[in-house]
Amino acid sequence: MMNAPFTIEQIGMRDTSPAAVIGRKAATRNRGPAFRKGEIHSMRALSVTSEVFPLIKTGGLADVTGSLPKALLPFGIETTTLVPGYPAVMKKIERAGVPLLVFDHLLGERATLVHGKVDDLDLFVLDIPTLYDRPGGPYVDYAGNDHPDNWKRFAALSLAGAEIAAGILPGWVPDIVHTHDWQSALTSVYMREKGCATPVVLTIHNLAFQGQYAASLLPFMGLPESTLSMDCLEYFGDISTLKGGLQTADAITTVSPTYAREILTPRFGMGLDGVLNERVTVLRGIVNGIDMDIWDPATDAHIPQRYDSTSLRRKRANRSALLDHFGLDQGDGPIFSAVSRLTWQKGMDMFADTADEVIFKGGRIIVFGQGDHDIEQQLLDTAARFAGRMAVKIGYAEPTAHLIHAGSDAIVQPSRFEPCGLTQLYALRYGCVPVVSRTGGLSETIIDANDAAISARVATGFQFHPVNTDGLRLALRRALDAYGDPRSWARLQNQGMKTKFSWERSADQYAGVYSSLVRGTTNSDNNARRQVY
């Protein structure tokens, strides 16, 4: 394997050695593993991720990696998050960050590891200007094309994570490493190659993205030919960084129990169902939570009128502001919105095909997001046919997303597959009724407004199946009919707002996974995976 030599740099007259900056407590605190909520801080976790809210976000991955560390603190788990030094990240950390060390040759690049805090997040930032300081997003340029060196950008992140796990920072060694999706899945591959047996949890946020690259890149990733095997990286003659992580992690989680079952099938397994079935004993689904402090209509600074379940009438002020924001006609008909990546997976083409169902019954439609150019254009063309009634805005901004949830009557998520989904959870919190496909986490988090659920007063939204245009059209009709009965609609809103999807229960499950691995109470498959190939 390619070496990654490094030097410790002293900045000014301060003692900025890693031990001084982040390791003072190592000699005095209890180093036993966390297990029960309320214990003293006793476990260190390293989270390796390509995005984290509020520094950099393209979707739900950032919300999870930004919220979970705070949720784990009551369980005695202190998390430090390693993230690439994108321009937006460096801007937020440049004043408070402290350089810890310099990698002279991290896959051929000079890199600086910076430590700092932003809000509640404890961070390691990997600053490599040649890889991360560029226009566009974390994964694509302004034209929507993948950065051609993404393989190197995220291999470098993973290798840095492996070096930290192996003890490159004197006085700071994690008890457990948590990786996320293909972008950081190579971390455990590098760790096992280095002989580092620290346990690793890999979370699959979306199996459709697998980090597939040409096998010829292997030596440039600093990995030996032995890793290009069926038991590690080899994937139909190429490299799959996600597959390498699935084969070398000690535990695999995904973001809902339903999705954990679905990905074991050829339909949802995306070519990796065989690998996942081999590792089914270490696979489990844990539903994502939401940050109840950030997504709270009673305290939200992004909306013009705050409200709660006892003051839903105030929501109308947000509705008016929302229509003005998107240049739509004011009116009493329902507002159906989508805050989503505009992709085939998310079913946004189906929403375009069914827009007439809402418009012809006096409603309004708002679509906010970005994604595939063809689907973006389909939606824009549909909006042009319904001027004043439908608006499509390409892009993403957090304040606008909050306003949409606060001002809309319904959120539409017709995903063809959905690992968990967070938008529907935000919608529930804001009294915005979800219309969702019956798949993955959507099927677990929304209770369909069928006759039995309505009678029991537990319904929170509308599910549809089969997941096709006709199914969505029928669900929209059901929602429109329900909106015509104000008392029935208010009950749906109130029931949704009472639903609890905080991180507390999910964090408890993650704490259990962490603790079982650190304590070594895992099955033989886990222990076998800790060995070098």
Instruction: Quick: pLDDT tens for 286-314.
Output: 999 999 999 999 999 999 999 999 999 99
Q: Which of 455, 496, 463 is nearest to 315 (CA)?
A: 496
Per-residue model confidence (pLDDT) at position 96? 76
Q: Determine the Cα–Cα distance for residues 160 and 82; give it in Å rounded to an integer.
A: 9
3-state secondary structure of 110: strand
Q: Determine the Cα–Cα distance for residues 403 and 101; give it in Å rounded to an integer.
A: 42
Low-confidence ranges of the chain (pLDDT < 50): 1-36, 38-41, 523-533
Within 8 A by CB and 6+ apart from 195, the residues are 532
Angle between helices 60-72 and 504-518 (to 10 degrees): 70
Per-residue model confidence (pLDDT) at position 142? 84
Question: Strand 176-180 to strand 212-213: parallel, antiparallel, or no bridges (unpaired)?
Answer: unpaired
DSSP string, 439-476: SHHHHHH--B--HHHHHHT---BEEESS-SHHHHHHHH
pLDDT tens per residue across span 185-219:
999 999 999 999 999 999 999 999 999 999 999 99
* Domain made up of 312-498: CATH architecture: 3-Layer(aba) Sandwich (3.40)
Per-residue model confidence (pLDDT) at position 9? 46
Q: How distant is the alpha carbon of residue 181 from its chain centre?
A: 9
Q: Which of 176, 130, 32, 127 is nearest to 517 (CA)?
A: 176
Please state which CATH class domain 30-289+505-529 belongs to: alpha beta
Q: Compute CA distances 308 → 335, 493, 498, whole Å.
A: 19, 11, 10
Q: Determine the Cα–Cα distance for residues 189 and 514; give it in Å rounded to an integer.
A: 19
Q: Compute CA distances 13 → 96, 113, 169, 308, whole Å.
A: 16, 19, 20, 52
Q: Any idea what DSSP says for residue 386?
A: T
Within 8 A by CB and 6+ apart from 470, the residues are none
pTM above 0.75, yes or no: yes
Q: Determine the Cα–Cα distance for residues 379 and 94; give it in Å rounded to an integer.
A: 40
Is the dihedral angle over the CA atoms 190, 193, 195, 199 positive or is it negative? positive
Per-residue model confidence (pLDDT) at position 5? 44
Q: Which segments within 238-317 are labelled E, that is strand?
A: 238-240, 251-254, 283-285
Alpha helices in 106-165 (DSSP H): 129-132, 150-165
Contacts 24+ apart (CB under 8 A), 390-394: 390/328, 390/355, 390/359, 390/364, 390/365, 390/366, 391/326, 391/327, 391/328, 391/365, 391/366, 391/367, 392/366, 392/367, 392/368, 393/326, 393/366, 393/367, 393/368, 394/342, 394/369, 394/370
Q: How many residues does this entry show for the chain?
A: 533
Residue 84 and residue 153 in contact, taking contact as beta carbons nearer than 8 Å: yes
Per-residue model confidence (pLDDT) at position 521? 56
Residue 53 and residue 47 in contact, taking contact as beta carbons nearer than 8 Å: no
122 CB-side CA count, 13 A: 15
Per-residue model confidence (pLDDT) at position 27? 32
φ, ψ dihedrals at 254, nearest 5°: -135, 175
Output b/e per residue, 348-376; b: 16+ Cβ within 10 A: bbbbbbbbbbbbeeebbbbbbbbbbeebb
Looking at the chain, the domain(s) classified CATH 3.40.50.2000 span 30-289+505-529, 312-498
Q: Determine the Cα–Cα distance for residues 434 and 55; give it in Å rounded to an integer.
A: 28
Within 8 A by CB and 6+ apart from 263, the residues are 204, 207, 254, 269, 270, 272, 273, 276
Q: Determine the Cα–Cα distance for residues 329 and 331; give it in Å rounded to an integer.
A: 6
Q: Determine the Cα–Cα distance for residues 320 and 129; give it in Å rounded to an integer.
A: 44
